[in-house]
Amino acid sequence: MPGNPTGRLLRHRRAVLVVAVLLALLGGVAGATVFDRLKGGGFDDPNAESGRAAAALAGEFARDDMNLVLLVHAPGGVDSPAATRAGTALGERLADEPGVSAVVSYWGEGRPAPLRGEEGDMALVLAALSGDDTEVAERLGTLEPRYEGEQDGLTVEFGGAAVVGEELAEAGERDAVRGEMIAFPLMLVVLVLIFGSLVAAALPLITGLITILLSLGLIWALASVTDVNIFAVNIVTLLGLGLAVDYSLLVVSRYREEIAKGHGTAEAIHRTMRSAGRTVAFSAVTVAVTLAGLAWFPLLALRSIAYAGIAVSLLTALVTLVVLPALLAVLGPRIEKGRLRRRKAPRPATEAAPTDGFWHRLASFVMRRPVPVATLVAGFLLLLGVPFLGIQMGTADERALPESSPARQVAEDMRAQFASGESQALTVVLPEPSGGAPELASYAADLSSLDGVARVDTATGSYAAGQQAAGPGPQHAQYAAPEGHDGVWLSVVPGPVGADEAEALVGEVRGLPAPGEALVGGQTAVNMDGIDAITDRLPVAGLTLAVAMYVLLFLLTGSVLLPVLAMLLSAIGLTATFGALVAGFQDGRLAGLLDFTSTGAIVGTVPVLLFAIAFGLGMDYQVFMLSRIREEYEACGDPVAAVAMGLERVGRIVTAAAATLSIVFLAFLVSDITFLMALGVCLPLAVLMDATLIRGALLPATMRLAGRATWWLPRWLKPVHDRFGLREAAPDDTPAATAYGDSPAHEPAGTTGR
């Protein structure tokens, strides 16, 4: 077979490595500027009512939400002559800045009392920065050096949604670098313990490093053609590193097994690629399919992780199947260099697994007692998942940042010193109001009478407690559309209400009859619509994922029952993970240990993201296990013995992969962002549960109960699987060198394993 791709790779192994290094360096160079191309935010649905309200407000009224807060300290009191002069000048200068569509200041016309702190030494200046998240961040970077700090006797602090978003983005950028710096040395230690050889342990890390650099370049390219959220870098690069190590463990372990059996380097690589290599390719497809489910959600934070995650998972497999074999070809038997302990002779793949191995003994023990073991383990996992029944989903706010965060400190001062939520005002846009000024005034009065509303401002004046509090003045002209348009909008300012009351208020505002179509926006409405977008799309995303995963597992196993069983086991394994998510982060039981503030809710994107990654990795391990069990079943024909022998052959590798992958995800714990900490706790828990309780207990127990029905394949489906099915194939006996078009005598110098 002169066209054998593995043979060509071996012949050009050094060229492959040179190209890989050059591409990795190029990816690293591009990655140095990748954060400049990424988007912040991404937790809103632009097609929801709040998104349409924001678009109408910006398009018809040239206004944006008040996303910037200047908290101004005046030591001599905000009403002193000096503070009045400086505060007035501050607001006027800010209003003249490019990209600032509106400014509302305590020192502006009418001196609005809600913008004055209770103790009289603080006041607010609110501003609306126009543009998308990237443009807002750029304007913020221009304004902060000019306005923050000492200003004519006043001290100015920056806060608001724009600053919170920017601080989250900056923290995410720092965390991506810190996490990788911590993960690499820890993984090296674990890999040395697993392989017992410095050279063998270094190979997965080299593969992982190349994968990360190429991934950064890939994300840079993706960000050139579509919007990519900044948190995609944190999640996708660490996922790529973890998968690279997982796949490398599988390939290197199989290669060492073949070398120790006496095969030359070329033959060993050939056999490894025909077995473990196929498993790696199939595993990468399962992870990519799982992450593709995130593309159903309209939130940029999830969609961009879907796009980047699909690309990076496939890229990881490509690096593992191309660069790693080239490294193995160059090293040959020198892979055992730097050995720290004597290695046990491996068991040939053609021989039966011993019955005294740990995983064989464990599987046999479980399969002798399948009902009590399955009942006990499933009940334990479901019990741990009970807290998930009380999940409350919310969105990220300043409390996701550490207490030292300037934006968080401003928000806390505002809650303590200001009676109304000026910066959390709802916007109600009436594109085509009916009934004229009287109807508008009546509607505004009705809005002001709702519980939790402090004031309503619109073109006909200001309203409070169901009555007009002030007639129309110059400051109210901004609420009417320019001449030639009929639109009008209202600002509904809440009182000092909590998150639950604010969400209830949005519902009441939306339910109140209005003179024409009313679009309700504002940050609280944006948050609610983002959560609704997630929950509304969950059924279709889940169904699509289940169908796609079923087809893939059918192609792998040749069974119509085993795919259902595999997905069910993975879902049961995740119950404990989601229970820990709610108990630890929503209920705050880990708040003291990890030093974060519990808000009583989970950021809505976290459960979806956690499920996609954890379920994908669970399926990844399913592929590792089931492919080898199927290989044993085809060899012996005994469904019980095949499970025990399959677990014995790959149980250690799966455990090692789970350990290294857990270290990768534990790197999220160095984050200053609460919802990334949650991933740092829950993803390792999911991986370890999957690799121990699921693979060690539930899988053998349920396969024993199913018996031969596990592998049942209807006769009419057999031709389909024969044609399209994929499996980890046992290597044939064709000498690799001959298959590559070379004679054994021409095997490259230094690559023989004999």
CA 745 to each of CA 255, 686, 741, 748: distance values in angstroms, whole numbers, following the listed order: 21, 49, 12, 9
Give the closest residue to 441 by CA, choosing from 420, 486, 472, 477.
Answer: 472
Q: Is residue 40 part of a domain?
A: no
Q: Which two tokens stand for residue 128?
A: 């609306």
Least confident of 459-463, 495-499, 673-677: 495-499
What span, in angstroms and rounded, lies between the C-alpha atoms of 611 and 620? 14
Other Cβ atoms within 10 Å of 278 Cβ, number: 18
Residue 422 and residue 480 in one domain: yes
**Do 499 and 534 belong together in one domain?**
no
Please tell me the predicted confidence (pLDDT) of residue 123. 93
Do 259 and 751 form a contact (C-beta atoms < 8 A)?
Answer: no
Q: How far apart, in whole angstroms, are the C-alpha atoms of residue 619 and residue 513?
A: 50
At residue 753 the predicted structure's pLDDT band, cuts being 50, 70 and 90, is very low
Distance CA 751, CA 264 (A): 7
CA–CA distances in Å: residue 228 to residues 29, 223, 381, 573: 18, 5, 36, 31
Q: What is the pLDDT of residues 124-156, one digit of tens each?
A: 999 989 887 778 888 998 999 999 999 889 999
pLDDT at 69 over 80: yes
* Least confident residue range of 1-15, 564-578, 610-624: 1-15
Q: Does 221 lie in the same domain as 154?
A: no
Residue 613: name the closest of 177, 173, 288, 246 by CA: 288
Beta strands in 371-526 (DSSP E): 393-394, 426-430, 453-458, 461-464, 467-470, 488-494, 519-521
The stretch 379-408 carries a mean pLDDT of: 89
Among the listed residues 49, 66, 57, the one whose alpha carbon sits nearest the alpha carbon of residue 421: 66
Q: What digits encode the pLDDT tens for the residues 210-237?
A: 998 998 898 898 888 888 888 788 788 7
Q: Which of 735, 675, 646, 17 is nearest to 357 (CA)?
A: 646
At residue 733, the pLDDT reads 45
Measured from the Cβ of residue 456, the count of other Cβ atoms closer than 10 Å reads 28
Residue among 381, 369, 377, 272 nearest 328 (CA):
272
What DSSP element (H or E) covers 101?
strand 100-105
Q: What is the pTM of this model?
A: 0.83
Res. 74 pLDDT band, cuts 50 70 90: very high
Domain extent, residue 138, equals: 68-159
Determine what percent of the chain is predicted with pLDDT higher than 90: 32
Residues in the chain: 754
Q: What is the pLDDT of residue 62?
A: 80
CB atoms within 10 A of CB 579: 23
> Does the structure show a pLDDT above 60 at 349?
no
Task: Give me the mean pLDDT over the 593-613 stretch.
Answer: 89
Which three-class secondary structure string do you get for 396-434?
Answer: CCHHHCCCCCHHHHHHHHHHHHCCCCHHHCEEEEECCCC
Indicate the pLDDT class of residue 748, thresholds 50, 70 and 90: very low
Q: Compute the C-alpha angle 336/338/343, nearest 5°.
A: 50
Residues 181, 330 within the same domain = yes
Residue 568: CB partners within 8 Å, gap ≥ 6?
Answer: none
CA-nearest of 705, 102, 718 to 427 is 102
Same domain for 359 and 429: no
Least confident of 15-19, 349-353, 424-428, 711-715: 349-353
Nearest to 650 by CA among 309, 328, 92, 254: 254
Tell me whether residue 63 is in a domain. Answer: no
Residue 96 sits in a domain whose CATH number is 3.30.70.1320
Residue 753 covered by a domain: no
Using H for helix, E for strand and C for coil, what is the string for 602-621?
EECHHHHHHHHHHHHHHHHH
Res. 285: pLDDT tops 80: yes
| Domain assignment present for 637 | yes
Of 425, 525, 418, 523, nearest to 479 (Cα)? Answer: 425
Residue 473's pLDDT is 80
CA distance 514 to 447: 10
Residue 685 has pLDDT above 60, yes or no: yes
Please write down the long-range contacts of 541-545, taking CB distance under 8 Å and 24 or more positions apart. Answer: 541/293, 541/294, 541/296, 541/297, 542/293, 544/293, 544/296, 545/289, 545/290, 545/293, 545/615
What CATH number corresponds to the domain at position 522? Answer: 3.30.70
Q: Is residue 391 part of a domain?
A: yes
Cα angle 33, 36, 38; round to 5: 115
Domain end marker among 159, 192, 213: 159
144 plus 201 within the same structural domain: no
Contact 552, 285 (CB under 8 A): yes
* 495 and 423 co-located in one domain: yes
DSSP class of residue 522 equals S
Domain membership flag for residue 627: yes
Per-residue confidence (pLDDT) for residue 127, from 0 to 100:
92
**Residue type, position 674, single letter:** T
Pairwise CA distance, residues 259 & 252, whole Å: 10
Range of 32-41, 256-265, 619-628, 702-711 with top mean pLDDT: 702-711
The tokens of 640 are what?
Answer: 């019980």
Rounded Cα–Cα distance for residues 308 and 459 (Å): 46
Helix (H) or strand (E) holding 641: helix 639-666
One domain, residues 262 and 278 = yes
pLDDT tens-digit map of 287-335? 999 999 999 999 888 888 898 889 889 999 999 999 999 999 988 877 7
Residues 423 and 390 reside in one and the same domain: no
89-93, 129-133, 382-386 — which is least confidently predicted? 129-133
What is the rounded (10 degree) CA torsion for 495, 500, 501, 506? 100
Is residue 50, in this structure, part of any structural domain at all? no
Residue 19 to residue 13: CA distance in whole angstroms:
10
pLDDT at 59 over 70: yes
CA atoms within 13 A on the CB side of 182: 17
Confidence (pLDDT) at 747:
38
In the predicted model, what is the mean pLDDT of residues 582-593?
93
7-to-86, 281, 439, 532, 743 alpha-carbon distances in Å: 76, 18, 80, 53, 12
- Boundary (domain end) residue, out of 108, 126, 159: 159
Number of structural domains the chain divides into? 3
List residues bridging with 156 in a β-sheet: 72, 149
**Is residue 691 located within the same domain as residue 543?**
yes
pLDDT at 157 over 90: yes
Burial class (CB in 10 A: 0-12, 13-18, 19+), 465: exposed
Q: If we measure between CA atoms, which residue out of 465, 481, 472 comes closest to residue 516?
A: 481
Q: Which of 101-110, 264-273, 576-585 has the highest mean pLDDT?
A: 576-585
Residues 574 and 581: their CA atoms lie apart, in Å, by: 11
Q: Are strands 154-159 and 68-73 parallel, antiparallel or unpaired?
A: antiparallel
Q: How far is CA 638 from CA 371, 409, 566, 659, 666, in A?
A: 20, 65, 20, 31, 40
In whole angstroms, what is the distance from residue 422 CA to residue 425 CA? 5
Work out the average pLDDT over 690-698. 88
- Looking at the fold, whether 197 and 313 belong to one and the same domain comes out as yes
Last-in-domain residue among 496, 512, 527? 527
d(CA 628, CA 635): 11
Q: Which helix (H) or strand (E) holds 219?
A: helix 198-225
Please indicate, yes or no, whether residues 155 and 189 belong to a single structural domain of this protein.
no
For 488, which DSSP code?
E
pLDDT at 754: 29
| 594 inside domain | yes
CATH number for position 217: 1.20.1640.10
pLDDT value of residue 20: 92
Handedness of CA 616, 619, 625, 631 (dihedral sign): negative
